[in-house]
Amino acid sequence: MGSNPTAVAAQPIGSADNHTKMESIAHQLRHSSTGRRAALRRVALTKSFEADAVVIALIAGAKFSEYDRHHDFDRWRIVAHVAAMLVGTGEPGPNRPLVHVKGKALGNILAKLDYSETRLLRLLSVRGEALDDQVRRVARVLAQKNERQFDFRTLYHLLDGGGNGERANAARIRIAHDYYTAKS
């Protein structure tokens, strides 16, 4: 009587587990080479096997479950891409920011940066590849404003099911709530 690996692989990960994985990715990126970070920043452009290999190496270093590797790879690809955009290239290893900070709300940050309500609504209303594009735009704004840290679990949940999942809806509400609370 052995264990059933299919049953284990079908179990989605919990949010405490996500926090640990986000910390691992952030730590790995902080200490990774310029070439590795550059490959991750180009993931969306190149869509190459080489860029995906860097993502695979990141999630292997974080000891992701089989479920993550097989069912959530596209979502982790976007998370790693955004994290690499925010880490940057100029600072030496120990001075690079640790981009995932538990509890630092994305909505609060966007409000603080005077991110327009129109852009926020666009981010919160799109699905699929359009959501990926909006997430990249948010990451570019954050990087340009040197605001490089937030709780990446919100981003992970926003990307749930291409933006159509239950957790994506909860993430949208959380981002909007934090944004409008900070604006008032």
Q: Whole-angstrom Cα distance, residue 110 to residue 84?
A: 19
What are the tens digits of pLDDT across the range 80-123? 889 888 887 666 556 677 888 899 999 999 999 999 999 999 99
Provide the residue range defining the domain that includes 110: 15-183
Would you say residue 1 lies in a domain?
A: no
Whether 152 maps to a domain, the answer reads yes
Q: How many domains does the chain have?
A: 1
**pLDDT band for position 173 (cuts 50, 70, 90):** very high
In a domain? residue 7: no
pLDDT in tens, 58-79: 888 777 777 777 778 888 889 9
**Mean pLDDT of all residues belonging to the chain:** 83
Q: Is residue 6 part of a domain?
A: no
**Does the reported pTM lie above 0.75?**
yes
36 in Cβ contact with 93 (< 8 Å): no
For residue 84, being part of any structural domain is answered with: yes
Tell me the CATH number at 27.
Answer: 1.10.520.40
Question: Does 119 map to a domain?
Answer: yes
Token reading at 110: 């966007």
- Does 22 map to a domain? yes
